[in-house]
Amino acid sequence: MAAWWAVLGLLAVCMASAAKKSVLNMCMDAKHHKTEPGPEEELHDQCVLWKDNACCTANTSTGAHQDQSYLYNFNWNHCGVMPEKCKQHFIQDTCLYECSPNLGPWIDQADTSWRRERILNVPLCKEDCELWWEDCKDATTCKENWHKGWNWTSGTNRCPRGSICQPFKYVFPRPADLCEKIWSNSYKYTTEHRGGGRCIQMWFDPANGNPNVAVAKYYAQNGRDASPAPRAVLLLLPAALLSLL
C-alpha cells in the first residue's frame, strides 16, 4: 500500500511539472497559430520581437501589418482612416496575440467556429495600455466591443446600422475601457509597470530578452490556473489506481 502511494506522489509531481512547463511555452488552439512554438527568423517588422520563439509564421506576421488582411478580413478603417500612431498599437496587439508563446496562464476555452481557445484577462502593463489609449484617443470607431456585432455582409466588418462613428475617447473614456472592452476582456488593465515581472508587455527590446517569460512563470505559480484538464486528471488518478489494488 505504501508503495502505491509513493508511486501516486511521484506521478502527481511529474504530471504537475509537465503541465506547468507546457503552460509556460505553448500556442493556443486558434485560427492561425502554430501547434508548437519555435524560431521564426523571417517575422515581419513589429512581430520580429518574437522571432526566437514564436507561435506565428512569417506569413501571419505579414498579415498582421495589413489594413485588411487575410487573417480575419478585419478593416481598421471602418470609420475613416486610422492614424498611423494608433494603428501601430493594433498591429502590436495582433503580434502579441498571434506570436507570443507566453500567454498560457490566460488561455481559456472559446466557443466559436474559428478557434477553440482564446486569451482572457491577460494583465497588461500600465504603460502599454495608457499609451495605446493616448495614441488612439482621436481615432474614430462605432463600436465598443470589436469581437462581435459587426455587419459582415460585404465580407469585411462594417458598422452596424444605427451606430455612430465617434472618437475613441468617447467610446472608451479611460485607458482601462479600451484595453478591457475592445476584445471582450482579452486584456486586463493593471497598475503594474513594465519590467516589474507582474504584467505582460506588448512592446519590449528583444536584445534584453523577452520579459513575458518571467511574467508567465509568476502567474503559472501564483495566479490563474490555466491547466484544468491535467488538474482534473490528478484528482481522478488516486481513485483509478486504488481500484487496481
d(CA 25, CA 20): 9
In this structure, which amino acid lies at residue 198? R
Using CB atoms within 10 A of its CB, is residue 121 exposed (0-12), middle (13-18) or buried (19+)? middle
Identify the DSSP state of 81.
P
pTM for the model? 0.80
| 66 contact partners, CB below 8 Å, separation of at least 6 | none
- Whole-number Cα distances in Å, 59 to 62, 95, 98, 128: 5, 12, 11, 25
- pLDDT values of the chain reduced to their tens digit, one per residue, 245 residues: 444 433 334 333 333 444 444 788 999 887 888 989 999 999 999 999 999 999 999 999 998 898 877 788 899 999 999 999 999 999 999 999 999 999 999 998 887 777 789 999 999 999 999 999 999 999 999 999 999 999 999 999 999 999 999 999 999 999 999 999 999 999 999 999 999 999 999 999 988 999 999 999 999 998 653 333 333 333 333 444 434 43
Q: Which of 138, 139, 132, 208 is nearest to 177 (CA)?
A: 132
C-alpha cell at 127: 504603460
